[in-house]
């Protein structure tokens, strides 16, 4: 099996304080970098994908299924499939999100 290394995709502006880019993907998995300005918020949503998030830098308040947790650089978390979740950036920062399967709506 060979390893495929991709160049990150172009940035997509999600809203005034948030942007994302796909780092790599296959049908089974997707890795996405998300940058937030201070106070930036990912609105409440859910999706059928299992999501793992790694905090590259910054401080974020994540609410998953009604439970809020503060995470900082080096922390990670898992969002179960179909769980309503959102986050707010206290400082601005960067998240690395991994989805399985890939988020077709991001392509």
- Whether 7 is in a domain gets the answer no
Q: Could you give the CA distance from residue 99 to residue 81 in angstroms, rounded to a whole number?
A: 10
| Domain assignment of residue 4, yes or no | no
No. of H helices and E strands in the chain?
0, 10
In a domain, residue 26? The reply is yes
pLDDT at 3: 60
E strand intervals along 11-49: 12-15, 18-26, 29-36, 41-45
Domain annotation covers residue 58: yes
Indicate whether 91 belongs to any domain: yes
Residue 35 resides in a domain: yes
> 38: domain range?
12-106
Domains contained in the chain, number: 1
Question: What pLDDT score was predicted for residue 1?
Answer: 43
CB 49 within 8 Å of CB 55: no
CATH code (residue 27): 2.60.120.10
pLDDT tens, residue by residue, 40-78? 998 999 999 999 999 999 999 999 999 999 999 999 999
């Amino acid at each position: 099996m060979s390893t495929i290394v991709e160049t990150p995709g172009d940035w997509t502006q999600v809203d005034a304080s948030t942007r994302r880019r796909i780092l790599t993907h296959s049908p089974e998995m997707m890795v996405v970098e998300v940058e937030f300005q201070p106070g930036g918020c990912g609105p409440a949503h859910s999706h059928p994908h299992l999501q793992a998030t790694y905090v590259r830098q910054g401080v974020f308040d994540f609410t998953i299924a009604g439970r809020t947790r503060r995470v900082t650089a080096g922390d990670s978390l898992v969002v179960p499939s179909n769980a309503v979740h959102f986050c707010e950036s206290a400082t601005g920062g960067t998240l690395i999100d991994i989805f399985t399967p890939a988020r077709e709506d991001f392509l």
